């Protein structure tokens, strides 16, 4: 390459870098989604049985609805700026993450000690799964590694 070709070459690299933003954020979002789902699969229990998950621990898998509801969306943006999001999409997702006490008609039915029980007040302790997963991935540097790998592939085709 001679000096006259350098501006074109640099412009081409600049364009690839700018357009890499969306694939990079999606790679990070997909990694985050996988890790949240992995954490939501650590323990399980059958319906109508007590959860083995301690307060403050990850929710225990029962039907898989919460795990399936965690989805990456995006990417959004342009011009070298991009954003993606990962979020759960069930009505009780926040109850699991932050805990909640509910009152009203019988809310919970379960079988224990040879009989069926119904409760009108149910306290669900906080069993966060999004926040701890975020902290794990940030502390481990996993999202940075994922972003760097996606950037390398997209910009340099390696």
- E strands of 5-139, at which residues? 71-78, 81-87, 100-112, 115-124
* Tally of CB atoms within 10 A around 142: 15
Cα(130)–Cα(11) distance, rounded to whole angstroms? 40
Can you read off the two tokens belonging to residue 108?
């919970």
Per-residue confidence (pLDDT) for residue 90, from 0 to 100: 96
Q: What is the mean pLDDT of residues 51-66?
A: 93
**Alpha-carbon dihedral 25, 43, 132, 26, rounded to 10 degrees:** 0
SS3 call for 35: helix
pLDDT-derived band of residue 158, with 50, 70 and 90 as boundaries? Answer: low
Identify the pLDDT of residue 104.
Answer: 82
Q: What is the pTM of this model?
A: 0.84
Q: In this predicted model, what pLDDT tens digit does every residue of 62-86 receive, in sequence order?
A: 999 999 999 999 999 988 899 999 9
């Amino acid at each position: 390459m001679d000096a006259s070709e350098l501006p074109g070459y640099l412009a081409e690299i600049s364009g690839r870098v700018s357009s890499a933003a969306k694939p990079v954020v999606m790679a990070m979002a997909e990694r985050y989604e996988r890790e949240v789902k992995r954490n939501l699969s650590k323990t399980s229990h059958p319906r109508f049985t007590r959860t083995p998950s301690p307060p403050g621990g990850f929710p225990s898998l029962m039907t898989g609805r919460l795990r399936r509801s965690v989805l990456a969306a995006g990417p959004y943006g342009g011009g070298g700026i991009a954003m993606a999001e990962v979020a759960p999409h069930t009505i009780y997702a926040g109850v699991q993450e932050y805990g909640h006490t509910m009152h009203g008609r019988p809310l919970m039915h379960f079988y224990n000690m040879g009989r069926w029980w119904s409760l009108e007040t149910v306290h669900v302790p906080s069993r966060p799964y999004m926040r701890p997963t975020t902290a794990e991935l940030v502390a481990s540097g996993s999202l940075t590694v994922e972003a760097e790998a996606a950037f390398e592939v997209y910009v340099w085709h390696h």
